[in-house]
Amino acid sequence: MSLWLEKITNVPLFAQGLWRNTIMPQNSQTYNSTDQDDLVILRDVHKSYMMGTQEVHALAGVSLTFRKGSFWAIMGPSGSGKSTMLNLLGCMDRPTSGHYILEGYDVGMLDDDRLSELRLRALGFIFQSFNLIQQLTVQENIELPLYYLGWDAGKSARRARELAEMVGLEQRLTHRPSELSGGQQQRAAIARALANDPSVLLADEPTGNLDSATSVQILETLVDLNSKGKTIIMVTHEPDIAAYARSCLHLRDGIIDRVEGAA
């Protein structure tokens, strides 16, 4: 298990500044964090939805900094804004107000294409329901981010094999997701999320659909990844699972209730 993270990080992916200059607009506002290790910065982030005529404040002013190499659990009762926060962190949505700074960019200012670009280059997602594409094989699923990154077939096939080996699925590359167990599917999803060597790995209840033994395997995988330097933010409502993280953020009614073990 110790070898595989090197394999991931060794792949000479986009030297950060390089793709930033080519892909991102030169004039878009950048934030130079005082600390190089401040990877994700939330400053007074609000997110509200209109429910009919009523405004629902899913996030009502959240300020927090996630440092490089940290492993966060986001906890809170149902409706407290966990998913909303993860969607924002995942650049799937923009804050209504406030600033979310990722990789030096204010995400609220970016258009849809640039959000996609950011998701493609800097983020990896793990979902509760795995979200593998059923029609594609395990290998094709793992290669999906590389396809959008424009890698050629041979190179991305090699990379997919490495990642599958890493999560112990090298024998399952040609299988469809439906032929795998839940744990295997989630491992395939982890391999896919790591394909682009993301700076942040986002997980939304990653063990929600798994039995406890398999859940432990998955969580240990995440812990191992974090110990090799990967930044992970995981939403969960179970304290047992949150215990695997090194820091824990408690949300209540869209605001931070308390923070435990911040690095």
Partner 1 sequence: MRQWRITRNVSLGIKSLLLHKLRSFLTMLGMVCGVGSVISMLSVGEGASQEAMEQIRKLGSNNIILQSVKMAADENAGQAPMLTPFGLLYEDDERIRQTMPSVRRTVPAKHIPAEGRLGERAMELRVVGTTPEWFDLVSRKMLAGRLMSWRDYNGRAGVCVLTESGARKLLAGKKTIGQAVRIGSNSYEVIGIIQSEQGGGAIATPDRDTDAYIPLNVARERHGDRIERGSRSTMGPGNQIPRDLVELHQIIVEVNSAEDVEDTAAAIKTMLERFHKKADYRIDVPLALLRQAEATKRTFNIVLGSIAGIGLLVGGIGIMNIMLATVTERTREIGIRRAIGAKRRQIVGQFLIETVVLSSVGGLLGALLGPALAWGVETSFGMATVVTPWSIILSLGISVGVGIIFGIYPAIRAANLDPIEALRHE
Ligand X SMILES: Nc1ncnc2c1ncn2[C@@H]1O[C@H](COP(=O)(O)OP(=O)(O)O)[C@@H](O)[C@H]1O
Longest distance between any two alpha carbons in the chain, whole Å: 55
Q: Distance between CA 46 and CA 99 in Å, rounded? A: 9
Strand order of the sheet with strand 105-106?
A: 54-67, 38-51, 97-102, 105-106
Number of residues that bind ligand X (CB under 6 A): 12
Name residues contacting partner 1, limited to 189-228 (CB under 8 A).
192, 196
Binder among 76, 81, 95, 145 for partner 1 (CB under 8 A): 145
Query: 49 contacts which partner out of partner 1, Mg ion, ligand X, none, CB within 5 to 8 A by kind?
Result: ligand X
Q: At what angle are helices 112-122 and 138-149 packed, to 10 degrees?
A: 120
Binder among 30, 96, 131, 227 for partner 1 (CB under 8 A): 131
Least spacing, CB of residue 258 vs partner 1, in Å? 27
Asked if 135 interacts with partner 1 (CB under 8 A), we say: yes
Percent of the chain as helix, strand, coil, to the nearest 5:
40, 25, 35
Asked if 52 interacts with partner 1 (CB under 8 A), we say: no
Q: x/- string (CB under 6 A) for ligand X, residues 63-102?
A: -------------x-xxxxxxx------------------
Choose the binding region for Mg ion from 29-37, 83-91, 220-228, 237-245 (rule: CB under 5 A): 83-91
For tokens 């995981």, name the residue. Answer: 234
Angle at 211 between CA 206 and CA 215, to 5 degrees: 45
